[in-house]
Amino acid sequence: MLGSRVRLNSTWAPVELVSGPDGVIDIGDGVFVNYGSMVSAHERVKIGSQVMIGNYCIIADTEIPGIGDPSGRPPTTPCPVEIGNGAWLAARVTVLPGSRIGAGAIIAAGSVVSGEIPAGSVAGGIPARILRRE
């Protein structure tokens, strides 16, 4: 499901939206996804409105993003991912299965998100930790 004014920038490398047979990718209004990024859902990936996703980000609800085997079955058990309204993921951020990023949160470049990042906070690192709370 794509909201209104969603922009997928594939200028330098393709943006991939991949879902399995039962997967749902729900992208809100005004979302920007930069080149080389992948969103993969075997169960559910929900991206809120006005979210900005930097280049070469990976957002997946399974440990191995993409279709996996030819049947479309997930290679591992899926865990839904949710990104709140107005969040910003800088370049090369990886969002692991089961992660939740709160509204207005900012994730620093190259970070790996595992678990929950509260709304309005700034997080970074591998794994991403809270650097500042607003």
Amino acid at 49: S
pLDDT digits (tens, 9 = 90+) for 39-48: 999 999 999 9
Range of the domain at 107: 7-132
Pairing of the two strands 129-132 and 122-124: antiparallel
Given this model, what pLDDT does residue 69 score?
Answer: 63
Specify if 2 maps to a domain: no
Whichever domain contains 13, its CATH number is 2.160.10.10
Specify if 33 maps to a domain: yes
The sign of the CA dihedral 133, 49, 125, 12 is: negative
Specify if 81 maps to a domain: yes
Specify if 42 maps to a domain: yes
pLDDT digits (tens, 9 = 90+) for 87-98: 999 999 999 999
Calculate the CA 2 to chain-centre distance: 14
Domain tally for the chain? 1
Closest CA relative to residue 42, chosen from 75, 11, 12: 75
Given this model, what pLDDT does residue 76 score?
Answer: 78
pLDDT digits (tens, 9 = 90+) for 39-88: 999 999 999 999 999 999 999 999 888 776 666 566 678 999 999 999 99
